[in-house]
Amino acid sequence: MSLVVDPVGARHPYRWVVLVLSWAAFTMTAVDRSTWGPASVAVGEHLGVSLAGLGVFATGYYIGYVISNAAGGVLTDWLGPRVVLAASLFLAGGFMVLFGETDSVVLGIAFQAAVGVFAGCDYSAGIKLIAQWFPAKDRGFAMGLFMTATSLGTVIANAVVPSLIAASGWRASYHLFGAVSMGVAVLCFLLLRPGKQVVEAHRELPSLRPLARNRDLWLLGLAGFGGLWGTYGFITWSNALMIKGNHISPVQAGTVVVIFGITAIVAKPLVGVVSDLFGGRRKVPTIVVLGGFVITLLVFGTRDDLAGFLWVAPFLGVAAYVYSPLMTALIPKLSGVRLAGSAAGMTNAFWQLGSAIVPVVIGGVFQATGSFFWAFATLAAGPLLGMLLMFGVRERDTATTAPVQSPETLAR
């Protein structure tokens, strides 16, 4: 098979194959990550782990995830997004299967960390592929659709895992999603192709000095830390907090989180399209969304029954997710396409530090106070910080494209 790669700015039909496969891979790592929320209580009961101790498993995952985001972006720019995405997803699926076999707390934490180590590379690889195949004027929609993966993963896990646990036990969900992840990885390896603007005669490690000096990327990374503190703190703890703090059933708690995720699936590409139509400006909408996230988290924390949770969940789902495609679309704009993988990995590593720290913090807050509201007020502190930091980001065009290579034919 031969594939002629288009000049920068052209719209090749193959870009949709790239987007769908990148999205499918990202969706599966989101499912793998989100499985812990609805499965955590059952796993804790099986392994004899306290409620506060459950946060250590999630933190183990996110520590691995931070490491892989930091390294995965560089590997993506060095080895190419196709190899990095397929190999890392396959290994993440393998460790999901192994976690489903464990009876040891120590091994369980280690396997969760290993899943995180390999699950974090597909984000930067996907961003790189989309930046290669979609011109800048179309990236808002493409990034929005790509980022629906994180909320769709939450929906799938919360729709499937509670019933699967009731029917077959918690291990079945890890076996199922691990196997599907490995299958998607094989498809990505067989079908993905890189875009031409970064196909170079010699592969070499990218220089990160321009990124290290880019204050706007640093601010974006720190702002995303605050956003993901709220988002993944909610995903990790909402099921357990609703079950233990307000005595609703696991299936009811899963339903609330499904509604939370479904609204985000619709809203993410929509906000990308709107930002494209208004000239691709992302900063101000991000600030507005993060402010709304603070408010909806506080309101959710004041609810105490299923009806109240169901009313707030769709608004919280929009606010908790739609800032991410806006921030993600800013990355290639601030860094340039050539270093888009490294920039995505670097910024997402900061973002995921919020995910790594928040599970233990929220577990400690709830254990110490017994207060559902104070747990959610602690979550709301993250997006509040992110909103304030976004005021300092200078949204301007800085090297939006890499140097253009001559058109090539990639023989496969």
253 part of a folded domain: yes
- Per-residue pLDDT band for 399 (boundaries 50, 70, 90) equals very low
Q: Is residue 118 part of a domain?
A: yes
**Secondary element (H or E) of residue 4:** strand 2-4
Which pLDDT does position 354 carry in this prediction? Answer: 82
- Region of poorest pLDDT, from 115-119, 143-147, 193-197: 193-197
| Contact call for residues 154 and 73 (beta carbons, < 8 A) | no
Q: What is residue 403's predicted lDDT score, i.e. its pLDDT? A: 36
Provide the 3-class DSSP secondary structure of residue 101: coil
**Quick one: average pLDDT of 283-303?**
93
The predicted structure's pLDDT at residue 207: 59
Q: Which helix (H) or strand (E) holds 379?
A: helix 372-390
pLDDT for residue 285: 87
Tell me whether residue 412 is in a domain.
Answer: no
Q: What is the pLDDT of residue 397?
A: 54
Residue whose entry in the numeric block shows the structure tokens 């907090």: 241
Pairwise CA distance, residues 85 & 307, whole Å: 41
Q: What distance lies between CA 121 and its chain's CA centroid?
A: 11
Window from 95-104, 130-139, 201-210, 324-333 with minimum mean pLDDT: 201-210
Q: How confident is the model at residue 410 (pLDDT cuts 50, 70, 90)?
A: very low
Enclosing domain of residue 302? 13-197+206-401
- CATH code at position 315: 1.20.1250.20
Structural contact between residues 26 and 122, judged by C-beta atoms closer than 8 angstroms = yes
pLDDT at 60: 85
What does the alpha-carbon distance between residue 293 and residue 322 come to, in Å, rounded to a whole number? 10
pLDDT at 6: 43
| Those residues with Cβ within 8 angstroms of residue 164's Cβ, 6 or more apart along the chain or in another chain | 172, 173, 176
Please tell me the predicted confidence (pLDDT) of residue 49. Answer: 85
Amino acid 8: pLDDT: 44
**Predicted pLDDT of residue 7:** 40
259-287 pLDDT, tens digit each = 988 887 888 778 777 776 766 677 888 99
From 21-25, 230-234, 295-299, the region with the lowest mean pLDDT = 230-234
**Per-residue confidence band for 9, with pLDDT thresholds at 50, 70 and 90:** very low
Domain total of the chain: 1
The stretch 140-163 carries a mean pLDDT of 85
Name the band, by pLDDT with cuts 50, 70 and 90, for residue 325. confident
pLDDT for the residue 199? 46
pLDDT number for residue 27: 94
198-257 pLDDT per residue, tens:
444 445 555 567 676 778 888 888 999 999 999 988 988 888 889 888 888 888 888 998
- Residue 87: predicted pLDDT: 93
pLDDT in tens, 169-204: 899 999 999 999 999 999 999 998 866 554 444 455
Instruction: Please give the average per-residue pLDDT across 148-170, as a whole number.
Output: 87
In a domain? residue 277: yes
**Mean pLDDT of the region 13-37:** 91
- Contact partners, residue 18, CB within 8 Å, separation at least 6: 129, 130, 132, 133, 192, 193, 195
| Alpha carbons 50 and 159: distance in angstroms, whole number | 25
Task: Give the residue-averaged pLDDT of 355-371.
Answer: 85
% of the chain with per-residue pLDDT over 90? 30
- The DSSP element (H or E) to which 410 belongs, if any, is strand 409-411
C-alpha closest to that of 231 among 322, 335, 113: 322
The pLDDT assigned to 181 comes to 96
Evaluate whether residue 6 is within a structural domain: no
Residue 126: Cβ within 10 Å count: 30
Share of the chain above pLDDT 70, in %: 85
Residue 310 lies in a domain: yes
7 inside domain: no
Instruction: Identify whether 350 is part of a domain.
Output: yes
